[in-house]
Structure 1
Amino acid sequence: MTRDMNLREWIEEVIRALDQYERVIFMTGCWAIWERRNKAIFEDEEWRSGWVIKRVRNLIVEMEGDGEERGRMGDESLVLGLTGPGEGITTGRGEVVQNGWRCPGVGVVKINVDASLLKDIGVGWGLVCRGEDGMAKWTCAIQVQEKWEPEFAEAMAILHGLIEARRAGEQKIIIETDCQRVINAVKSRKRDRSDISLVYEDIFNACIWFDSVSFCFVCRKLNKVAHRLAHFIHWEPGRRVWGVDVPLDITFLIVADLRNE
């Protein structure tokens, strides 16, 4: 006998059964229903199921990028907004990404990282690795009971990103963070006798694990998935890693990134 599932468990079960393309459609549909529900409750607009279907169709067409609807056997990279390095994104160390979150090129993964100082509790790090389709290959939340300065914690976020990338067998990576000071330090290959310099040295040494590594600064809006993971509400010292079965709220943020919201 199958036990009763709550709504969250049911949605997570559905997501696990879908492929990446179907997840985008499903999550877009959930968002459209929620948007229409809010308009019905707070703006007293009439509920029409046809509006939801039309809204989902239009959003999928927008994500395809050229206003022309494609079927399942069409160009799925366009459905997910795939772009390579170009305007607004560079693969050089210390460059700025500011024109919206973009998927990495074919064969490359992008790892967004962030750190969170949780008052007197400790430090949290959030990492999300995404490939050319923009969906999560893996995500990670790490929490420790330490009290560190912000720059030290942000530098450690990059180091953790490199360590997790090696564990996952990645070879060509782009690291993105919203801490400009740390990116500048990495770009200048900062070395002195401070404690944080040891972290930077570890970052430089870790780069030899990969075929290519790039570091980019992004604004907080473009780093919101890693930011959310860094503030993971279920505090428990240790390391938690998810594959495609990521927490539901993280999936919503990833879909929002693909739509550049």
Structure 2
Amino acid sequence: MTGWSKPNEGWVKVNVDEGVEEGWGAGFGAICRGSEGQVLWGLSERRRSTMEPRVAEAEAVLMSIQEARRRGHTNIVVESDRKSLIDALKTKDTERSDFHLVLHDIYRFYNSFACISWSFVSLKYNRVAHELAHWGSMHYGRNIWAGVLPCMA
């Protein structure tokens, strides 16, 4: 496995992660970078409801591709550190569960992009999305940043 790499010219790369914490609900984080590695935008959302981690990670993907579409990105690579999710997206898995309901919503967005691809990346290379998923665990709702991310120290 290699480390994080910049997307090709004309593409953006979106890294996503979840943060499910007992008593705090579910958190989602995403960071989008351009072909020079520059931060284009980031988002963080915290919900009071808890969910299983793979459902939360799928929600993070859905939220991030919705934001990518809203911002006019047409060629995107989505990276996650949850291999089972990436495998399910690549095979267009269609079982019946809460997880698959979210996958179905993601599949509806396929035609919104010229090209979308899915990639597994280890947590080591997904650290910023991970931090955003846990950012502001006391603050519920969605936060979106353009170009500059919050201080997460």
TM-score (norm 2): 0.95
Unaligned runs of 5+ in 2: none
Q: Which residue identity lines up with residue 16 of structure 2 in the other structure?
A: V
Q: Count matched residues.
A: 153
Match of 2:130 among 223, 227, 238: 227
Question: What residue is the counterpart of 1:242 in the other structure?
Answer: 145
How far is the alpha carbon of 1:246 from its aligned partner?
1.8
Query: Does 2:32 correspond to 1:129?
Result: yes
Give the structure with the larger helix fraction. Answer: 1
- 1:112 partner amino acid: N
> Which portions of structure 1, spanning 4 or more consecutive aligned residues, are displaced by more than 4 angstroms?
none
1:174 aligns with 2:77: yes
Shift of 1:126: 0.6
CA–CA distance in 1 between the matches of 2:97 and 2:41?
A: 33
Partner deviation per Cα, 1:40-98 (whole Å, 9 max, x = no partner): xxxxxxxxxxxxxxxxxxxxxxxxxxxxxxxxxxxxxxxxxxxxxxxxxxxxxxxxxx2
Alignment of 1:43-122 (within 5 A): 98-122=1-25
Tell me the amino acid that sits aligned with residue 100 of structure 2.
Answer: S
Give 1:166's aligned amino acid: R
Aligned to 2:117: 214
User: Do residues 197 (structure 1) and 94 (structure 2) align?
Assistant: no
1:196, distance to aligned residue in structure 2 (A)? 1.7
Shift of 1:191: 0.9
TM-score, normalization by structure 1? 0.57
Structure having the larger proportion of residues in strand: 2
Residue identity (%): 38
The gaps in structure 1 that reach 5 residues or longer are 1-97, 251-261
What SS does the corresponding residue of 1:134 show, helix, strand or coil?
coil
Deviation at 1:249, TM superposition (A): 4.2
